DNA sequence: AGGCAAGTTTTTGTCCGACAATCGGTCAGT
DNA sequence: ACTGACCGATTGTCGGACAAAAACTTGCCT
């Protein structure tokens, strides 16, 4: 006879999962406030401290949000809630530049292609603004810094694919800050970056998905070339560049 | 003079972020135990309840894990910790079949291609075992169910790319259960699935990346064809299939 | 009637103390 | 050497308490 180690989850976890069910089932819709801690404690038949511990879990998962000392609001987890955790996990797993690059090499061109069909006028304008800012900064010999990161976020936002948006974010968050590490050694790299960005934007504006995709592919491929030219190993561990 | 409303984060959040810093900085390595709650409370100069609330956040992020009523152990977040959250987020964002499919259409072939170069003998054996099981099940007219899900997990695990593994998981978790929804209406679909799986495995075994990638691409493309043949809209919302 | 100011009630954040259950180890007894 | 009772440490849960902030009421004034 098999006896399996029966697990009795602590009460605070029960509270957490129970509230999750209520939110997922739609009984509590995004935007609505949760009952007060005292009410919840009474309903679940546990102490307020226990409820609070359960709430902390939901809070860190982005299912509820508290602004100041106000009531908890049900929210739908945003990319900004999830991406940092995934990014942390990737860093702790000691992913290499190559692993990141391989994934970026398929996700970024897809984003560019989809953006060409789906980008709104406002999004194209934002891309152009980013392009001008990047260009101006690079002319002065300064590193594009966060502008590069922002560019790729804008492209994937314009792609109107929420799955892509969420999947791509952690990769970009780690990969593009890596550009900074070799950009000083390769002055021409920044100019190539601006050129590629320009062509991607041009493709998106002309609704030319193939063009946007092609140049995005070149652009990401360039990233690896630059990495290698700078004498960095492909197996180099990635450090967290930005901590948002 | 501008006075901005300065925000004082609650103490439990300070505890959480402080512990995060210690873990990320490497002062606390994975596998090591955290100090006891009482010690932490003393060190941070806060009450034990406050410490406990902070710990809950780390716990739900997969940075620490508790087994039974023992000390907390520092751990590196595993795919199983993150994927469910991302999956939930995708469901709450009401992603469509098409959005999922578009991303799968680039990630899965990449996984197959990389697996062809990197798969270990044990992983190939696991793939074959999965293939046999799937084949046997389909012969009996039963739905492959979780075996399909497992197949794609095995492929991406064999790809030896941790970024891909983490990025792909939430997509697979939502997409493959969707197969069940139309599989009954299209009896030939299951046989096509087995054939595609077989070719992918063959490609991986022969270290023929192009072959594996090609058939994986066909396989994922088939998924959309099946979806459309079953009369389902591409814009259909995706329901959570499995809740792990 | 409508708007504003002061007061009252709720609610959150934090603390204190307490106790049963469990874990880990010690130590005597067989 | 193995068993089982004992003991300290730690966690899970509870009860209550209180200051600060937010939300709500009330009453006054125009």
Assigned token pair, B232 = 């389902």
Q: Where are the domains of chain A?
A: 11-74, 79-229
Which is nearest to B224 in space by CA: B92, B105, B47? B105
pLDDT digits (tens, 9 = 90+) for B39-72: 999 999 999 999 999 999 999 999 999 987 888 9
Q: How far is the CA of A51 from the C1' of C27 (A)?
A: 42
Q: Does strand D come within 7 Å of the CB of A11?
A: yes
pLDDT digits (tens, 9 = 90+) for B82-140: 998 999 999 999 999 999 999 999 999 999 999 999 999 999 999 999 999 999 988 88
**Which residues of A fall within a CB distance of 8 Å from B220?**
none
Q: Which residues of chain A have pLDDT under 50?
A: 242-244
Q: Does strand D come within 7 Å of the CB of B198?
A: no
Report the DSSP pairing between strands A64-65 and B72-74: unpaired
**What mean pLDDT, rounded, does chain B reach?**
90
Range list of H helices, A5-96: 11-24, 37-44, 48-60, 79-92
CB contact set of A136 (below 8 Å; sequence gap of 6+): none
Contact B168, B111 (CB under 8 A): yes
Of B242 and B79, the structure prediction assigns the larger pLDDT to: B79
* Residue A167: closest C-alpha in chain B: B167
Assigned token pair, A13 = 């976890």
Which is nearest to B157 in space by CA: B200, B195, B112? B112
Q: Which residue is nearest to nucleotide C10 (CA to C1')?
A: A36
Assigned token pair, A172 = 């970009």
Q: What is the pTM of this model?
A: 0.90
Q: What is the DSSP string of A174-193?
A: HHHHHHHHHHTT-HHHHHHH
B68 to chain A nearest CA, in Å?
8
pLDDT digits (tens, 9 = 90+) for B15-26: 999 999 999 888
What is d(CA B211, CA A204) in angstroms, rounded to the nearest whole number? 32
pLDDT the model gives residue B4: 55
Contact A46, A15 (CB under 8 A): yes
Contact B116, B203 (CB under 8 A): yes
Q: Which helix (H) or strand (E) holds A73?
A: strand A73-74
What is d(CA A34, CA A58) in angstroms, rounded to the nearest whole number? 12
Q: How many CB atoms neighbour CB A234 within 10 A?
A: 12
Q: Which residue has the tokens 């046989």?
A: B191
Q: Is the pLDDT of residue B243 over 50?
A: no
Phi/psi of residue A67, nearest 5 degrees:
-110, 110
Assigned token pair, B17 = 């972020």
A residues 52..71 contacting B (CB < 8 A) = 52-54, 56-57, 59-63, 68
pLDDT the model gives residue A4: 61
pLDDT the model gives residue A235: 66
Range list of H helices, B93-161: 97-118, 121-139, 146-158
pLDDT the model gives residue B244: 43
**Which residues of B fall within a CB distance of 8 Å from A102?**
110, 114, 161, 163-164
**Does A56 sit within 8 Å of B53, measured CB to CB?**
yes
* Residue A107: closest C-alpha in chain B: B106
**Does B90 sit within 8 Å of A110, measured CB to CB?**
no
DSSP state of A240: P
pLDDT the model gives residue B184: 65
Angle between helices A162-183 and A146-158 (to 10 degrees): 160
Which is nearest to A117 in space by CA: B97, B102, B216, B217? B102
What is d(CA A165, CA B126) in angstroms, rounded to the nearest whole number? 32
Q: What is the CATH number of domain A79-229?
A: 1.20.120.530
Architecture of domain A11-74: Orthogonal Bundle (1.10)
Fold match between A11-74 and A79-229?
no
pLDDT the model gives residue B140: 85
Q: Which residue has the tokens 């109107």?
A: A160
What is d(CA B102, CA B207) in angstroms, rounded to the nearest whole number? 26
Contact B83, B62 (CB under 8 A): no
**Does B24 sit within 8 Å of A91, measured CB to CB?**
yes
Which residues, listed in sequence order, are joined to residue B74 by a DSSP beta bridge? Answer: B64
Q: How far is the CA of A42 from the C1' of C18 (A)?
A: 21
What is d(CA B197, CA B130) in angstroms, rounded to the nearest whole number? 9
């Amino acid at each position: 006879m098999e006896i399996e180690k029966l697990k009795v989850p602590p009460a605070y976890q029960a509270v957490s999962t129970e509230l999750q069910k209520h939110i997922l089932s739609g009984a509590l819709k995004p935007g609505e406030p949760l009952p007060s801690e005292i009410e919840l404690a009474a309903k679940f038949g546990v102490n307020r401290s226990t409820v609070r511990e359960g709430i902390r879990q939901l809070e860190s998962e982005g299912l509820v949000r508290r602004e100041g000392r106000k009531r908890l609001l049900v929210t739908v987890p945003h990319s900004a809630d999830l991406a940092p955790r995934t990014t942390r996990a990737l860093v702790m797993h000691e992913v290499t530049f190559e692993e990141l690059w391989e994934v970026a090499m398929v996700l970024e061109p897809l984003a560019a292609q989809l953006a060409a069909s789906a980008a709104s006028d406002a999004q194209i304008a934002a891309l152009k603004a980013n392009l001008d800012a990047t260009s101006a900064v690079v002319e002065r010999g300064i590193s594009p810094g966060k502008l590069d990161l922002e560019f790729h976020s804008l492209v994937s936002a314009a792609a109107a694919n929420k799955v892509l948006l969420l999947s791509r974010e952690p990769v970009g968050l780690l990969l593009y800050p890596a550009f900074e590490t070799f950009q000083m050694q390769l002055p021409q790299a920044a100019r190539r970056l601006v050129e590629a960005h320009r062509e991607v934007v041009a493709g998106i504006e002309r609704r030319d998905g193939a063009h946007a995709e092609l140049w995005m592919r070149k652009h990401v491929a360039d990233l690896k070339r630059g990495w290698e030219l700078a004498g960095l190993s492909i197996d180099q561990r990635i450090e967290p560049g930005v901590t948002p």
